[in-house]
Amino acid sequence: MANEENSVIMNIKTRRSIRDYLNKPVPEEVIRKIIDAGRYAPSGFNLQPWRFVVIENKEMLERLSDFAKPVLLKNLVGRTDPLAVSYMERLEDRNYNIFYNAPALLLVLGKKNNPLSDYDCTLCGGNIIHAAHSLGVGSCWVGNAGVIQQSEELMAELKIPVNYKVVVPIVLGYPRDAPPPPEKREPSISWVR
């Protein structure tokens, strides 16, 4: 199909969330290139409200995961649906790391007092995951990591300014293998002509 010959569309269609990474750092220049693609995202009034934090320190990544797990577990208490139950089991596993042991966590921060900031940062995150994929870097948007903001201490250690919030947490790293493509439903489209 003509669409599939277009490299942008091919890149979009072949990206998938990676949850198993090689123990190999992503070079700084590659991370900078990925962030650079992020900053080209559109933003309301072109305010570009984002800032970025790149966490590569293994100990910090473990601390963040260890902080998040009990908070996530508490949020799921009482849920009986299979998805929640199986995620609760994972969260109870000492060896489970919410960042999948990726070598880097990129936080896209947005402005707290800008109502469009979440949209802007989400588009920035979209650019980031696709740019990463185009450079052979795997990624996974780990929305669950948002709970780290409940720790003032961690926010201070990460030097996150008080007027900013974590909107998009994305892990980056080299994939250990290529996971099978997840099912993508056919779109429901209503045409009004």
Ligand X SMILES: Cc1cc2nc3c(=O)[nH]c(=O)nc-3n(C[C@H](O)[C@H](O)[C@H](O)COP(=O)(O)O)c2cc1C
Which parts of this chain interact with ligand X (CB under 6 A)?
Answer: 16-17, 19, 140-144, 182
Contact 34, 137 (CB under 8 A): yes
Query: Cβ neighbours of residue 54 under 8 Å, at least 6 residues apart?
Result: 31, 35, 104, 105, 106, 107
Minimum CB separation of residue 18 from ligand X in Å reads: 8
Minimum CB separation of residue 125 from ligand X in Å reads: 8
Residue nearest to ligand X (CB): 143
Of 187, 142, 136, nearest in space to 168 by CA? 142
The residue (of 29 and 166) whose beta carbon lies closer to ligand X is 166
- Bridge pairing between strands 51-55 and 104-111: antiparallel
The residue (of 2 and 83) whose beta carbon lies closer to ligand X is 83
Q: How many other C-beta atoms can be found within 10 angstroms of the C-beta atom of residue 64?
A: 26
The residue (of 4 and 29) whose beta carbon lies closer to ligand X is 4
Minimum CB separation of residue 192 from ligand X in Å reads: 28
